[in-house]
Structure 1
Amino acid sequence: MRACFRLSTRIAAATLLHTAGLTADPAAAARKAPVSEIVLDAGSGRTLFATNADRVRSPASLAKLMTLLLTFDALDNGRLGVSDRLVMTAEGARQAPSRLGLARGRTIGVSDALRATAVISANDIAVALADRLGGKEDRFVAMMNRRADQVGMAHTAFGNATGLAPSAGTTTARDLATLSRYIIRRYPRRYDLFSTRTIHWKGRVRRNHNQLLGKIEGLDGLKTGYTVQAGFNLAASAKRERRRIIVVVMGARSAAARDLLVSNLIEAGFSSPAGRRPQRHRKPPDQR
């Protein structure tokens, strides 16, 4: 049964923000900055709808989409095997949450590392992947940015493998939609990773941060992200019949506002014939 979401007055007020000036307080800036949003038809690559899609923003954990793409590349070209084991480095073990909690010197299989990075956005594991593939994280970041150029992310400069502030780098909603489409088309079998609902680690069940999985018809990935500087971000994709839609929302004020906005944009994308923009959702009559 299709989940139907209606944009309430309260949530609309939280998500349809006005442009604000620069501030020394990143939390205040995140609250005041306008939300960026874009809807793509994944088949044609056509932009169905966009607002503030080229605004330069911090990626937060959406940067891990590129970390995972480079890992997929390494698996594809034989530089890495799914049965290989990663050694947790000192730098990885020092990462802030979200993290898996692997101690320095301990190991984790590549397959488990992929799930931890995609499902719970584990910063420690993302850095362990970066150290393994790049030798050290700064070299891996150079790899991320070269790959971004190849993918067509014209306004992106990654700063680390995790998206953690303050050195996360910059990107745009349009660039992240481009990256999401590339991953889906280049690695359709590996894309299933993003639909994993839970992982189990040391007796604990860790749930996917993407709370829309199982709630929106056809939604099967990709990834959430949050930092104080970036606000609440989500790159999502859904498939119905033969059509796939990609939605990216960046800079929402809360997880609830982000999820509701993504839900509405997915419904609007599917209700719009390919090649025609869905109508921009409007403020309720009592909003000024």
Structure 2
Amino acid sequence: MSNLRPLPLIQRVFAALALLVLLAGCTTATPPDSVLAVPAPARKYAAIVVDARTGKQLFEVSSTAQRYPASLTKMMTLYLLFEALETGRVTKETQIPVSDHAASQPPTKLRFRRGESIDVDSAIRAIVVKSANDVAVAVGEYLGGSEEQFAAMMTSKARQLGMTSTVFRNASGLPDDDQHTTARDMAVLGMALRQRFPQQFHYFSESDFMFRGRLVRGHNDMLGRVRGVDGIKTGYIRASGFNIVTSYNADGRNLIVVVMGADSARQRNDHVEALIQRSLSLSVDGAKTRLMFAEQ
């Protein structure tokens, strides 16, 4: 744990916009006078930390309050694509056509022309690393017949996984007033991706990839920042603020950290790092934490 960068000045980082959350109100073993600064505004902020090996909740604030997922939505798009790979419906070489509707999506995207396609392996990397909206929609149309039908499949799968408060309306996470989730549900999805598809989870640790002869770089700055962080996904739209689901896996500890609604990527990442530090310092005490969800 000594490689984790200490954050003694985190409250100054968040400055006047920070809120103080009394950890005594959370299900932890932290002394009641402990406080942790969190990103503002409160109407967007939510967070949860879960021990992914046991399902025990180590920290939460507003973790069941509805929030906009933004590009965290693409985690479910990938879940269904991984299922299609597992069942043999597609292979990593399968070509996915990019429709006019998919190509017309706003950035971030890879910018396809009419009639072009992308192989499944490159599509996964484009969604994970670039958060490419055009590719996510193309995948949804290919698997669902239409993006609307695919969104219904996504919501149905969410219910199967125990994501009780999530509704998907598109494959990308672009703004839709009816598309919502919670920090808790995103933690459930993050754990499900690792547990169900360990052979595919390595994609989430990639920070760049080559496509058509050029290097495409990502924007998950948690990768390489904290030893043990190996994914998963960032997201942002104006309505949501800066979101992230982060997986930590090192020294026998496996955490899923969700932070939603930060004012900037830097605030979000600082807060995730502080939550990882805090969670690793907690003693394992089953009597003072509670199971987040039942075995599925």
TM-score by length of 1: 0.88
Runs in 1 of length 4+ with deviation above 3 angstroms? Answer: 12-15, 274-277
Query: What is the CA–CA distance in structure 1 between the aligned matches of 2:180 and 2:207, rounded to whole Å?
Result: 28
What is the CA-CA distance between 1:154 and the residue it aligns to? 0.5
SS at match of 2:118: strand
Query: What is the CA–CA distance in structure 1 between the aligned matches of 2:18 and 2:259, rounded to whole Å?
Result: 10
1:206 — aligned with what?
A: 216
Pairing 1:46–2:35 present? no
Query: What is the CA–CA distance in structure 2 between the aligned matches of 1:233 and 1:147, rounded to whole Å?
Result: 21
**Unpaired segments ≥5 residues, structure 2:** 22-39, 290-296
Pairing 1:11–2:21 present? no
The answer as to whether partners of 1:48 and 1:269 remain within 8 angstroms in 2 is yes
What is the RMSD computed on CA atoms of the aligned residues? 1.7
Query: What is the CA–CA distance in structure 2 between the aligned matches of 1:167 and 1:10, rounded to whole Å?
Result: 31
- Among 205, 218, 228, the residue aligned to 1:195: 205
Identity of matched residues, %: 41
The answer as to whether partners of 1:162 and 1:168 remain within 8 angstroms in 2 is no
SS at match of 2:125: helix
Q: Relative to structure 1, is the Cα distance of residues 127 and 168 closer, same or farther in structure 2, using a 3 angstrom cutoff?
A: farther
Q: Relative to structure 1, is the Cα distance of residues 43 and 252 closer, same or farther in structure 2, using a 3 angstrom cutoff?
A: same
More off after superposition, 98-107 vs 131-140: 98-107
Query: What is the CA–CA distance in structure 1 between the aligned matches of 2:41 and 2:140, rounded to whole Å?
Result: 31
Which digits, 9 at most, give the CA deviation of each residue in 1:183-242, with x for residues without a partner?
111111211100012112344322221101011010000000000001000000111212
Query: What is the CA–CA distance in structure 2 between the aligned matches of 1:77 and 1:192, rounded to whole Å?
Result: 19
The answer as to whether partners of 2:68 and 2:181 remain within 8 angstroms in 1 is yes
When the two structures are aligned, how many residues end up with a matched partner? 266
- Among 62, 75, 86, the residue aligned to 1:65: 75
| Structure 2 counterpart of 1:100, one-letter code | L
- Among 103, 115, 120, the residue aligned to 1:105: 115
1:120 — aligned with what?
A: 130
| Structure 1 counterpart of 2:14, one-letter code | I
2:103 — aligned with what?
A: 93
The answer as to whether partners of 1:60 and 1:227 remain within 8 angstroms in 2 is yes
Q: Relative to structure 1, is the Cα distance of residues 113 and 137 closer, same or farther in structure 2, using a 3 angstrom cutoff?
A: same
Summarize the alignment of residues 82-231 of structure 1 with structure 2, pairs less than 5 Å apart.
82-167=92-177, 169-231=179-241
The answer as to whether partners of 1:220 and 1:238 remain within 8 angstroms in 2 is yes
Query: What is the CA–CA distance in structure 2 between the aligned matches of 1:69 and 1:271, rounded to whole Å?
Result: 32
**Unpaired segments ≥5 residues, structure 1:** 19-29, 278-288
SS at match of 2:260: strand
